[in-house]
Amino acid sequence: MTKKWIIVSMMMFGSLSVNGQAALLALLFGDKVASENFHLSLDAGGNISSLPGISGQQSTTGFYFGLGTFVKLNDQWAITPEFKPLSPRGASNVPALKDYGAVLTDANYEIRLNYIDVPILVQYSPTKKWLVSAGPQISFLTSAKQLATGQLLDGSSVDVSQSMNSDFNSVYFSAPIEVGYRLSSAREGKGINLKVRYNIGLSEMIAKTDYGSSNGSTFQVFLSFPFVNVD
């Protein structure tokens, strides 16, 4: 198994452990509190994020997970507040926040961020299958790390991870825009929603002003598993 897949597997296992309470809530009580007008969902998928404005940066990927709710207003409109405790962002191939050039050769730097996202979206369903959503989102930074990868003077490879929380703003605002498609016959009528979301950054992510400026860019593809019969 390659190093990449080991890291992905550990992230997925860790995310399910950290966010087990949200999953357990939906699994135990999702059907109990479900109705046509209100129900819960489990959402899981992937992020592609970047830090536009930072010189040379490239996008990174991560595992996205959380809990959604559906509050029906009428046959076409709904409000969908969410709680997403695992929402990674960042960028690779970035300039160093802390330079290890004195001890590492061919050093490459990556910024890894994780947020708790709380979007409150307004959802419109032009048909029974399609939906579009948009609204504000507030995100709370839970961790910020720089990963430096390079070689020591003896030629051995090494990864150095260091916390950089103080270099990033603790609160971040964005505006998600989403398109979704309902697979209503899946899961014995409970359905699966396939959603594609782009988060437009509205506020500055970086607190260290001499490093650079970026509002961030995040593209998300995920599946939403509602705990209600949607037929």
Q: What is the mean pLDDT of residues 167-182?
A: 97
Q: At what angle do helices 20-29 and 3-18 cross, to 10 degrees?
A: 60
How many residues appear in the chain?
A: 231
Of 40-54, 110-124, 179-193, the poorest mean pLDDT is in 179-193
- Phi and psi of 71, rounded to 5°? -120, 105
> How would residue 103 be classed by pLDDT, with cut points 50, 70 and 90?
confident
Q: What is the mean pLDDT of the chain?
A: 85
Helix residue ranges per DSSP H, 38-174: none
Rounded CA-CA distance 125/119 in Å is: 18
Rounded CA-CA distance 49/218 in Å is: 4
Residues whose CB is less than 8 angstroms from the CB of residue 217 and which lie 6 or more positions away in sequence, other chains included: 49, 50, 51, 52, 199, 201
For residue 195, what are the β-bridge partners? Answer: 180, 222
Rounded CA-CA distance 191/138 in Å is: 28
For residue 7, the model assigns a pLDDT of: 36
Q: Which two tokens stand for residue 135?
A: 């609204």
> How would residue 229 be classed by pLDDT, with cut points 50, 70 and 90?
low
Percent of the chain surpassing pLDDT 90: 67
- Burial class from Cβ neighbours inside 10 Å (0-12, 13-18, 19+) for residue 117 reads buried
Pairing relationship of beta strands 38-50 and 77-92 according to DSSP bridges:
unpaired
Each residue of 182-225: pLDDT tens digit? 997 766 667 899 999 999 999 999 999 899 999 999 999 999 99
pTM: 0.82
pLDDT of 230 > 80? The answer is no
> How would residue 161 be classed by pLDDT, with cut points 50, 70 and 90?
very high
- Higher local confidence (pLDDT), 153 or 38: 38
pLDDT of 170 > 90? The answer is yes
- Higher local confidence (pLDDT), 30 or 47: 47
Radius of gyration of the chain (CA): 20
> Are the CB atoms for 178 and 134 separated by under 8 Å?
yes
Each residue of 59-93: pLDDT tens digit? 999 999 999 999 999 999 999 999 999 999 999 99
